[in-house]
Amino acid sequence: MGVNQMSNRQVARNATIVMIGIFISRVLGLVRERAVAQVFGRTQQTDAYFAAFGIPDLMYYLLVGGALSAAFIPVFTSYLAQDDEETAWHVASTFITATVILLLIFTVVGEIFTPQLAPLVAYDYSGEQLALLVQLMRIVFPAVLFTALAGLEMGVLNSYQHFTAPVVGPILYNLGIIAGAYVLGPKYGVFGMAVGLVVGAFGNFAIQLPVLLRYTRAYRPILDLRHPGIRKMGALMLPAMVGLSVNQLNLMISQNIASGLAEGSITALRLANRLMQFPLGVFAMGISTAVFPLLTRLAATNAYKELKETYSLGLRTVLIITIPASLGLLVLGEPIVRFLFQTGEFTVADTQATAYALFFYALALPALSGIQLTSRMFYALYDTKTPVKIGILSVIVSTALSLLFLNFTGLDYGGLALAFSVATTVNFIVYILILRKKLGGIDGGRILTSVVKSSLASLVMGVVVYLSSNLVGQWVSLATTRGRLLQMAIPMLIGIIVYGVFLLAFRMEELEFLLSAVKGRKKRLPAKE
């Protein structure tokens, strides 16, 4: 295939570990959202609970998300690739110390100025609802501190090609929120979930710490801010803070606008976005996380031919999964929402409202998945300015379209989801065009061929899934959990089979890569015995 077989096999094994861990975490994430829906429904309380994450989440993406992907991992990994572990840890020690100090400062400032920050996530809140939002934000800020520290641990471990502990942490995070909803929620309301969130965030940090200590014997609490490696990280990190925070910023803007709409609009958007994020998190993030250290090493050693081939294979693999997943969410949106959330306080109207938002969000899935990997290509090449420019364009397009759809169409909050999808698609197209020019080609012929084949197979699959869903819906009682499961699961299984047959008929290389991930994992097991 042109890509070094050992590297390919290593990436496949790492991707398998990451995808399995993320899959479990995302399933628990859906259980978490079901717990919220079942105990509280779609109300002003849940709107305030979800809005409370806006500023803290943005803080995380600014200080840790962008710093890790764009600055720490590329620079730290480049030193490791040159067998200079001493310098790698000198730079890492300064980076970790500085980031922890900044996180503590932001947390304290956030706690003090929460009343002033609250309108940034929900401009229309007042009275009791505003007071509730402020209280929840103050609980959430410390949780994000632990999540950010867990992100730092993940960055170090991933640089050493260790992926297991970093994917176990989010599982504990979700379990904490689930326990908070079911155990504390009935007595303490949404505050019970917020407490569970803090406990889960601490668990995410604590589970990775023992593994991290195996690699961090060289860590020292120093602040050598003049070191060339730190200066390089700073130059990469500052623009990346904007570039990698775009998605979160777009969601926060949509959420803020939604705070002026009918009760439950924020909750519907949040639940729909979480459903769309499920395949994104499992496959796109899993593959991107596993491929990124290899991309960095290839760029550091100027192996541009293998770099382009590795990126191409990674992108094609991501797209052959997320294109049919997107169509599946479009067709099966309401059956999925009905099965997952329609229980307890979550009504039929709530199901329809969430499925409505999901229809528009699902359109963004392939582009959003492509951005996960493509943005990392720029960071592997030490280019953080381009993602910033594209990110600013995305925010402008998303905000403008949100206001346009809301004021000049009858789409209501669905217009906010559609604006997000359109802006994300524009974002991805611009990324691809610039990267192609930057590298003098990105194996575009094979990427386009793969997309066309996947799209054709997905269209056939979508028709079959739609017809089978309607047919099953006539045979079963949708008032029962069993009936809802069958209406969702049977068409889904049929769709997977139909799509798989097409992939086999097309003899797609990306399918071979996915299968090698499973085989690679099996081959590794005997070595442990």
Domain ranges in the chain are: 5-518
Contact call for residues 368 and 60 (beta carbons, < 8 A): no
The rounded mean pLDDT for the chain is: 83
User: pLDDT, tens digit, for every residue of 387-436?
Assistant: 888 888 888 999 999 999 999 998 999 999 999 999 999 999 999 999 99
Contact partners, residue 281, CB within 8 Å, separation at least 6: 22, 25, 26, 29
Chain centroid offset of residue 472 CA: 32
> End-to-end alpha-carbon separation of the chain, Å?
32
Among 64-68, 350-354, 489-493, the minimum mean pLDDT is found in 64-68
Neighbouring C-beta atoms of residue 262, cutoff 10 Å: 10
User: pLDDT, tens digit, for every residue of 251-275?
Assistant: 778 888 888 888 888 889 988 988 9
Three-state SS at 83: coil
User: pLDDT, tens digit, for every residue of 333-374?
Assistant: 999 999 988 988 888 999 999 999 999 999 999 999 998 889
Residue whose token pair is 């079963």: 476
Between CA 345 and CA 264 the distance in angstroms is 12
Pick 69 or 505 by higher pLDDT.
505
Lookup: tokens for 449: 């061929």
Please work out, in degrees rounded to the nearest 5, the angle formed at the alpha carbon of residue 453 by the alpha carbons of 449 and 459: 145
Pick 281 or 324 by higher pLDDT.
324
Calculate mean pLDDT across residues 496-523: 73
User: pLDDT, tens digit, for every residue of 296-314?
Assistant: 878 878 888 888 888 888 8
User: pLDDT, tens digit, for every residue of 208-252?
Assistant: 888 888 876 667 788 888 888 888 887 777 776 666 566 677 777
pTM of the model: 0.74
User: pLDDT, tens digit, for every residue of 88-123?
Assistant: 888 888 888 888 888 888 889 888 998 988 888 888
Pick 153 or 176 by higher pLDDT.
176
pLDDT for the residue numbered 1: 42
Nearest to 319 by CA among 416, 135, 455: 455
pLDDT for the residue numbered 529: 33
Q: Which H or E run contains 5? A: helix 5-40
pLDDT for the residue numbered 15: 63
Contact partners, residue 202, CB within 8 Å, separation at least 6: 146, 176
pLDDT band at 69 (very low <50, low <70, confident <90, very high): low
Pick 488 or 67 by higher pLDDT.
488
Contact call for residues 47 and 238 (beta carbons, < 8 A): no
